[in-house]
Amino acid sequence: MNSYGNLFKVTLYGESHQPAIGVVIDGLPAGTKIDEDLIKHDLEQRKPKAIGTTPRKEDDIYRITSGVFNGIATGSPIHVMIENKNVKSKDYEHLKTHPRPGHADFVSEVKYKGFQDYRGGGRFSGRLTAALVVAGSFAKMAIPFKIKHELSQVGTLKDMTKLDDYLLSVMEKQDSVGGTISLTISDMIVGIGEPFFDKLNAELAKLLFSVPAVKGVEFGLGFEGVTKLGSEFNDVIVDEHGKTKTNHQGGINGGISNGNDIHIRVFVKPTSSIQKKQDTFHLKAKKVEVLDIGGRHDVAIVRRVGIVLENVVAIALLDQYLMYKAYH
């Protein structure tokens, strides 16, 4: 449900228009130095600023209420809360009857029997990822591995130097686009991952798919590798540390890290909220009607989601690294 992890455990709460969102971070080793600059830096990357991101401002001022003492983790669970300051009192009730295409409005209404907090998408709002980013920042403070993310494609655009212009053209159409993000984990060691079910790739995929809008995850060559023969795909080991000549497997064999960089590619679908009018079924009128969401939304949430993906990777890595340490 809303907790993840075996030894490093992250419990998320919050809804878009409730007083606060937050996260309980359990299992960070006592003695871990807390790097608040890292937290701020990571939250900053998630903020809407660039072209193609929403003009709405969220302060994302977090507050640590437990588990840190004199700037160091105490070994007790860390609670971090972010208040929802910029909450408008506008009427959201139409979301219950006019479910937005691509959103969780409809499934939420059915699953939670109409009791969900529908305002601003409630718990399905991208807002919650701010708390997830914070949890990942804490994880990074305790892993010896490095993670980075990079935007590799947005819509039809592959040359990222032209991104602003491309997004301006999408904005003009009152539409949105998705994209792909590449993640690289370096400074890996051999042996992270717990077969059969807690394989490193399986845990990474589970967390990546828990991030809203993610619709595809692949490791190494991924789907493109389908045309390769085994002799081309196999990565030849060239030294006693397990270094391979190529890295088509993406740094993981049998669900266990092989010491080479881990390469992941993630597909993030186009933002569901668009300024353009769309059809939807009106649940009370019982017919298809035109829906005008209005507002100014993220045109390319993919531009902000990279740090979220990077940080959920950190969460999985710390959990598995601690399990590794129990045996080494």
By rule CB under 8 A, what count of residues binds its own copies? 145
- Residue 235 touches its own copies, criterion: CB under 8 A: yes
Classify each residue of 27-47 as buried b or exposed e, where b means 16 or more C-beta atoms within 10 Å of its C-beta: bbeeebebeeeebeebbebbb
Among residue numbers 277 through 306, which ones bind its own copies (CB under 8 A)?
278-281, 283, 286, 288
48 forms part of the interface with its own copies (CB under 8 A): no
Cβ-based nearer residue to its own copies, 41 or 296: 296
Q: CB-wise, 147 or 207, nearer to its own copies?
A: 207
Which residues share a beta bridge with 287? 282
Residue 14 is a binding residue for its own copies (CB under 8 A): yes
Binding mask 54-83 for its own copies (x = CB under 8 A): ---------xxxxxxx--xxxxxxxx-x--
Smallest distance from its own copies to CB 110, Å: 4
Report the nearest approach of its own copies to the CB of residue 192 (Å). 8
Would you count residue 141 as binding its own copies (CB under 8 A)? no
**Does 108 sit near its own copies (CB under 8 A)?**
yes
Identify the DSSP state of 84.
Answer: -
How near is the Cβ of 193 to its own copies at its closest, in Å?
A: 8
Q: At a CB cut-off of 8 Å and minimum separation 6, what does 88 contact? A: none
- Verify binding: residue 90, its own copies, rule CB under 8 A: no
Nearest distance, CB of residue 138 and its own copies, angstroms: 13
Residue 51 near residue 168 (C-beta atoms within 8 A): yes
Q: What is the 3-state secondary structure (H, E, C) of 235-303?
A: CCECCCCCCECCCCCCCEECCEEECCCEEEEEEECCCCCCCCCEEEEECCCCEEEEECCCCCCCCCCHH
* Cβ-based nearer residue to its own copies, 103 or 140: 103
CB–CB of 258/190 below 8 Å? yes
Q: Which residues of 271-309 are buried (b: 16+ CB within 10 A; e: fewer)?
A: bbbbbeeeebebeeeeeeeebebeeebbbbbbbbbbbbb
Residues of this chain, 163-222, that bind its own copies according to CB under 8 A: 170, 173, 175-180, 190-191, 194-199, 201-203, 205-210, 212, 214-222
Can you tell me which of 1, 89, 159, 161 binds its own copies, judged by CB under 8 A?
A: 1
Smallest gap from Cβ 148 to its own copies, in A, equals 21
Neighbours of 162 (CB within 10 A): 11
Per the CB < 8 A criterion, the answer to whether 190 and 242 are in contact is: yes
Q: Any contact of residue 112 with its own copies (CB under 8 A)?
A: yes
Locus of tokens 């009128």: 285
